[in-house]
Chains A and B, each alone.
Chain A
Amino acid sequence: MSGGPAVRVSIESQCERQVQEVSLDGLETYVPLLSMSQNLAKLAQWMDFDQSSDSEQDGPERESREPWSKPEPEEDEGAVKFQPSLWPWDSVRNNLRGALTEMCVLHDVLSVLKEKKYMALDPVSQDPSTPQVFQLISKKKSLATAAQLLLKGAEKLNKSLAENQEQRRQRDFNSELLRLRSQWKLRKVGDKILGDLSYRSAGSLFPHHGTFEVIKNTDLDLDKKVPDDYCPLSVQIPSDLEGSAYIKVSIQKQSPDIGDLGTVSLFRRQPKAKPGKTWHVKLEAAQNVLLCKEIFAQLSREAVQIKSQIPHIVVKNQIISQPFPGLQLSISLCHSTGEKRSQGASPEKSKPDDHLYVLEHNLHQLIREFHKQTLSSVVMPHPASAPFGHKRLRLAGPMAYDKAEISSLQQSEGLLEKIIKQAKHIFLRSRSIQLQLNIGVEQIRVVHRDGRVITLSHQEQELQDFLLSQMSQHQVHAVQQLAKVMGWHVLSFSNHVGLGPIESIGNASAITVTSPNGEYTISVRNGPESGCKVLVQFPRSQAKELPKSDVLQDARWTHLRGPYKEVHWSRMEGRNFVYKMELLMAALTPCP
């Protein structure tokens, strides 16, 4: 455009050439430009012919064909675009040439092989199968693992089984212990289990401890056969309570020699000493022994302390007393431990019915009564400082009771006295039983004590009459026995007297007895219908209505018996005939 000054615009072409060097004088030397073929070669160098996918998929034949054809199209390409320089393609060409060579070789080899004349293919031997040793070892190992598992399992089972058995054994012991506990008192002291078999909790004051120990009996080898009487629990009783014992009460007529007392073991029963007695039997036996010991201790204590007219003899394990003259009551404690049998027989072979079981039973009952009294509400509960006894006795101290008051509160009769009374009663009673009635279907058979057998028919009147006659006879017999006991002498005795009024039922019987010193005589005539008639004969000195005789002048004749006097029997004191007679006899026996 015109109009203004011209602006000079400098145009510089892009610097296409790189500066190779700058000389010292500032002259720049440029790198010579590449020609177009050079440029192409440079770019071709950057290309990776191996990576192209098309060339890979072709088989080796293609490859064999390709090698010499490949450089040609590339050469052609080079020729089209640039002047190819073989220098960047060298490596490619070498690689290709190498591949070609190898393919040719391969081809040659294959073709030679095909002819099978000069070359043959031989397969390479495979790896052989593993030898048997290894098979064995591997099988062994696998079996061993399996066996290990099984063994572990078996071991576990065994253990659990053993545990079960052990538990069962333990459980047996525990169940036995439970049963034991339900019947006996047990307590645990340390690691021992102790029990109490004394009667202390029932009210006994006997100082024996009565402790037994419970022992576990589980050291049993379960492989061996379990014995029949096996019990996992056993008890150990105190040594002085071993064996069995009983109290023997007997009445003897003759008194044995004093020297023989206490030297002979009177144990009659042979104990069946079973070695494996169960705890129940053992404990009961031991408790019985303890009770017998207590009874005997109480009796002997009373025998020594209580002053009675008849002294009691206490020798070792026997107490002897004489309730009636000529009659001897012996109470002995018979204790045998399991090992030894009764040593020898006692000199008097006492008959079995000599052994008064009733009195033994009564002794047991009495001691149990005594125990109960200790626990009665009169005694229990009691303060710890008070002694055992009646409640009122606790006031004796503070109220300053004197001896009379104290004795009125305390028990008067002891065990021994009671037993002696009972023995007396038994003795008298046994002497009085005369009849035994066997009541049959049609008839009644009566067996008399002296062997007579009488058969009665069904009519009750007969029996009544018979019994009446027996009663009257019995009363006279009673007088006879009483006379023996009281020391009176029987002068005459007749079951069927011929004198006096005739009885319509049976016969009357009569007896005459005289006192020990001969002063008095009692005559009794007893009939079933006529009743009882008792006459007493006094010595002449006591009779007032006797005239003084000229013939009998000596004073001693007055001691003879004189006239008879009748006794108003119905007004006589006494519950029954025997009591009355006893009283009469006692009244006529003067005190010495």
Chain B
Amino acid sequence: SVFHVCQVPVAEGKSVQQTVDMLHKKLEQLGAVKQGNFWVDCETYQATGNATGQPTKLLYVMHNSETPLSSMALFEGGPGLTADANFDVLMVKLKSHFQNAKGHKVESRGTRYRYCDFLVKIGTVAMSSSARGISVEVEYCACVIPGDCWNLMKEFMQSFLGSSTPELPAVFTSKAEGLYAPVDCMDTMSQYLELFGKVRKQQVLAGSGVR
């Protein structure tokens, strides 16, 4: 499947929850069927022992409910690692090298909708239990190469996202084979990481709309 993650801005004058409900309604009108819940979370670890002058390297450990037995670890823009769920325990043991920045945990929770071959996951991005934004993940299950199905996905997204349909994510274009390399779960996670980064930088702006 090809995953595409994008951020939907909160509608004017509405709270995060209301925007999410609006999206749900749109999908249901489209004919999608609710199929359970999902969550994606990201924890930040700071690498200690860096030479002074260099910015501290941040390691992100992410989990996805779609791959419940895995943990993904990646550096921003750098290499990534897919591992067993025991990786979290390993991180605890590496406390001396990587310190957990507890306040920086970001997670996105929401419902899954299935529409034929598409899986749409609409999640509320929350940082320390305050909703900061909305993430929409669209998965096209029938294909693994983005180049083949990007147009279809874009069209599908346009149908319920309207104007906020995003462009092709950088992840797909930055690969050596370009758009025609099969998709990895790392790509999904990088997309989420980007989104979470944006949300973190947004800070209080979206938080004021929480009610």
Cα–Cα distance between A10 and B59 once the two chains are bound (Å): 154
Q: Which residues of B contact A386 (CB under 8 A)?
A: 84
Listed in ascending order, the chain A residues whose CB lies under 8 Å from chain B are 385-386, 393-394, 396-403, 406
Instruction: Tell me whether A406 and B68 are in contact in the complex, defined as CB-CB below 8 angstroms, given that A397-B82, A397-B84, A398-B84 are known contacts.
Output: yes
Cα–Cα distance between A69 and B66 once the two chains are bound (Å): 160
Q: A396: shortest Cβ distance to chain B, in Å?
A: 4
Q: Which residues of B contact A396 (CB under 8 A)?
A: 67, 69-70, 84
A401–B67 touching, CB < 8 Å = yes
- Kindly report which residue of chain B lies nearest to residue A394, judged by CB atoms: B84
Q: A263: shortest Cβ distance to chain B, in Å?
A: 39
Q: Which residues of A contact B85 (CB under 8 A)?
A: 397
Cα–Cα distance between A21 and B71 once the two chains are bound (Å): 148
A400–B82 touching, CB < 8 Å = yes
B86 contacts A by Cβ under 8 Å: yes
Q: Chain B 56-69, CB within 8 Å of chain A: the 1/0 string?
A: 00000000001111
Cα–Cα distance between A406 and B67 once the two chains are bound (Å): 9
Q: A572: shortest Cβ distance to chain B, in Å?
A: 35
- Kindly report which residue of chain A lies nearest to residue B84, judged by CB atoms: A397
Cα–Cα distance between A529 and B47 once the two chains are bound (Å): 87
B84–A400 touching, CB < 8 Å = no
A-B contact count (CB 8 A): 38
Interface size class of B (residues with CB under 8 A): 10 to 19
Most buried by A among B66, B69, B82, B85: B69
- Kindly report which residue of chain B lies nearest to residue A393, judged by CB atoms: B69
B83–A402 touching, CB < 8 Å = no
Q: A391: shortest Cβ distance to chain B, in Å?
A: 13
Q: Which residues of B contact A397 (CB under 8 A)?
A: 69-71, 82-87
Contacting residues of chain B (54-105) with chain A, CB-CB under 8 angstroms? 66-72, 82-87
Listed in ascending order, the chain B residues whose CB lies under 8 Å from chain A are 66-72, 82-87, 185
Q: A441: shortest Cβ distance to chain B, in Å?
A: 68
Q: B86: shortest Cβ distance to chain A, in Å?
A: 5
Cα–Cα distance between A400 and B72 once the two chains are bound (Å): 9
A398–B86 touching, CB < 8 Å = no
- Kindly report which residue of chain A lies nearest to residue B90, judged by CB atoms: A385
- Kindly report which residue of chain B lies nearest to residue A402, judged by CB atoms: B66
Q: Which residues of B contact A398 (CB under 8 A)?
A: 70, 82-84
Closest 4 A-B residue pairs measured CB to CB? Answer: A397-B84, A400-B185, A396-B69, A400-B67
Cα–Cα distance between A399 and B185 once the two chains are bound (Å): 9
Most buried by B among A393, A396, A397, A403: A397
Q: Which residues of A contact B83 (CB under 8 A)?
A: 397-398
Cα–Cα distance between A402 and B188 once the two chains are bound (Å): 13
A403–B82 touching, CB < 8 Å = no
Which of B69, B72, B86 has a CB less than 8 Å from the CB of A406?
Answer: B69
Cα–Cα distance between A386 and B84 once the two chains are bound (Å): 9
B86–A401 touching, CB < 8 Å = no
Most buried by B among A398, A399, A402, A403: A402
B84–A401 touching, CB < 8 Å = no
Q: A307: shortest Cβ distance to chain B, in Å?
A: 13
- Kindly report which residue of chain B lies nearest to residue A389, judged by CB atoms: B69
Q: Which residues of A contact B86 (CB under 8 A)?
A: 385, 397
19 A-B residue pairings within 8 Å (CB atoms) = A386-B84, A393-B69, A396-B70, A397-B70, A397-B82, A397-B83, A397-B86, A398-B70, A398-B83, A399-B70, A400-B67, A400-B70, A400-B72, A401-B67, A401-B69, A402-B66, A403-B66, A403-B68, A406-B68
Q: A167: shortest Cβ distance to chain B, in Å?
A: 55
Beyond A397-B70, A399-B82, A400-B72, 13 additional contacts (C-beta under 8 Å) are A385-B84, A385-B86, A397-B69, A397-B71, A397-B82, A397-B84, A397-B87, A398-B70, A398-B83, A400-B67, A400-B185, A403-B68, A406-B68
